[in-house]
Amino acid sequence: MRHAQVVVSMPVNFHILRRQAKEHVSRRDVLHRRDFRTAMAGQVSSQVADAMTSLGLAQVLLFDLNPGDTTLAFLRGLVLAAFPLLFVGPLAGFVADRFARQQLLVMGQLLRAVLTLGAIVAAVTERQVIGYVTFGLLLLVTRVLYTVRATAIPRLVESHQLVAADSLSLLFSMMAGFVGVAVAAGIERLDVRAVFVVAVALHVASSYLYRQVRVSLGGGHDVATHRDWRAAGAQLRNHKVRFAIASSCGGKLLLGMSYACVALVIDARFAIEASGYAAVFGVAGAGTFVGTLTAEWVIERVPRKSVSVLAAVASGLAISGILLVDSFVTAMAAIVVASFAFQNVRVCNDAAVQSSVDSASLGRVFAAYDVVYNLSFVVGAAAALAIGIDTGYGAVLGACCVGYAALALALLFTGSGELRPTVTSRRPAEVHSLMSSTLRVSNTTSPLMAAATSDGSIVANSGHSVSTTSASAPKHAPIEVSA
Which domains does the chain carry? 33-224 (1.20.1250.20), 235-412 (1.20.1250.20)
pLDDT of residue 207: 97
Q: How confident is the model at residue 269, as a pLDDT?
A: 65
What pTM, to 2 d.p., does this model score?
Answer: 0.73
Gap between the Cα atoms of 166 and 169, Å rounded: 5
pLDDT (tens, 9 = 90+) of the chain, 483 residues, equals 444 444 444 455 666 666 665 667 788 889 999 999 999 999 999 999 999 998 888 777 766 656 555 445 555 555 656 666 666 777 888 888 889 999 999 999 999 999 999 989 988 888 888 888 888 888 889 889 999 999 999 999 998 889 889 999 999 999 999 999 899 989 988 888 899 999 999 999 999 999 999 999 988 765 544 446 777 788 888 888 899 999 999 999 999 999 888 887 776 665 544 455 667 778 888 999 999 999 888 888 888 889 999 999 999 999 999 889 888 889 899 999 999 999 999 999 998 898 888 888 888 888 888 888 888 888 888 888 788 777 777 888 999 999 999 999 999 888 765 655 444 444 444 444 444 444 334 333 444 334 333 333 333 333 333 333 334 444 333 333 333
Q: What is the model's pLDDT at position 413? A: 86
In sequence order, the 6+-apart residues with CB closer than 8 A to the CB of 25 are 160, 161, 163, 164, 296, 300
5 φ/ψ angles, rounded to the nearest 5 degrees: -90, 120
How many angstroms separate the Cα of 73 from the Cα of each of 78, 106, 318? 9, 33, 35
DSSP string computed for 167-219: HHHHHHHHHHHHHHHHHHHHHTTT-HHHHHHHHHHHHHHHHHHHHT--S----
Is 425 exposed, middle or buried (CB count within 10 Å of its CB: 0-12, 13-18, 19+)? exposed
Please report which residue ranges of 357-421 form alpha helices under DSSP H.
362-391, 393-412
Q: What is the pLDDT of residue 307?
A: 92
Sorted by sequence, the CB contacts under 8 Å of residue 273 that are 6+ apart come out as none
CB 18 within 8 A of CB 303: yes
Report whether 135 contacts 60 (CB < 8 A): no
pLDDT at 188: 83
Q: Which residues contact 208 (CB under 8 A, 6 or more apart)?
A: none
d(CA 448, CA 226): 11
Helix residue ranges, H only, 32-161: 34-58, 71-87, 89-98, 101-125, 128-156
